[in-house]
Amino acid sequence: MPMPTPPNIPSTSAAYSQLAGLTVAAQGSGDGYDRDLFPHWISQGNSCNTREVVLERDGTNVVVGSDCYPDSGTWYSPYDGDNWSQASDVDIDHVVPLANAWRSGASSWTTSEREDFANDLDNPQLIAVTDNVNQSKGDDGPEDWKPPLTSYYCTYAKMWVKVKSVYDLTVTSAEKSALTDMLDTC
C-alpha cells in the first residue's frame, strides 16, 4: 500500500540545514493554551474541511460522499505500519502538535496565523495515522515520543524540522538532539 506523503518534505541535507537554523530555547509556558485558539478542520473552499482533504490525500481508493466524508478507502499509517479501512480509525496528526507550537512561539501569533498552522496543507504538518498512536503522542516532542516504526524516524524528523523552520518555532536542546539522532537514521 502506498505510504501517505505530505507535501514539501525536505531532503535530509536540507533538514539538517533547517535544524541548524532553528533557535534553541527553553520550552515556553503552556499558560493560556486552548486547542480552540487554533481553529482547525476549516472549510477548504470546496465544501470539504481540512480533515477530509487529508483523508482523501493520504488514503488509497478513497471514495467520498457528497458531504466530503470518505465512504470507503484504505489508509496506511506510517507511524506504526497498520492499515485501516474505516476513516473513523484514523486521526489526522498535527506533526508539530498545537500545544507544542504554543510553547514554541505560537502563543504570540494571531488567531489567523494559528488557523493557518492548524490547517496547513502546503507543508508536512498534517498526516493520517492510527488514532490511538496519535493519541499516545499527545503534545510530546521527539525527545519524548517517536513513531513506533523506527524506519519512519527519518521522515518524521524531516517533517518536524520543516514545520518548525517554516513557522520560526523554537526547539529545546533535548528536542534538537533527538531530531539529530533521528536524521542520522536517514
Over residues 90-101, mean pLDDT: 98
Q: How far apart are the first and last CA of the chain?
A: 21
Q: Is the pLDDT of residue 2 over 80?
A: no
| Chain mean pLDDT for the chain | 96
The predicted model scores a pTM of: 0.96
What are the φ and ψ backbone dihedral angles of 144, each rounded to 5 degrees?
-115, -20
Q: Is the pLDDT of residue 46 over 90?
A: no
Question: Which residue matches cell numbers 474505516?
Answer: 86
Q: Work out the pLDDT band at 1, boundaries 50, 70, 90.
A: low
Q: Are 33 and 118 in contact (CB under 8 A)?
A: no
| SS3 (DSSP) at 129 | strand
Each domain of the chain, given as residue ranges in start order, spans: 12-183
User: Of the candidates 59, 65, 51, which has an alpha carbon nearest to the alpha carbon of residue 85?
Assistant: 59
Report helix angle 153-166 to 173-183, nearest 10. Answer: 130
| SS3 (DSSP) at 19 | helix
Q: Is the pLDDT of residue 137 over 90?
A: yes
Beta-bridged to residue 127, according to DSSP, are 93
Q: Is the pLDDT of residue 181 over 70?
A: yes
Is the C-alpha dihedral spanning 24, 26, 29, 35 positive or negative?
positive
CA distance 186 to 95: 18
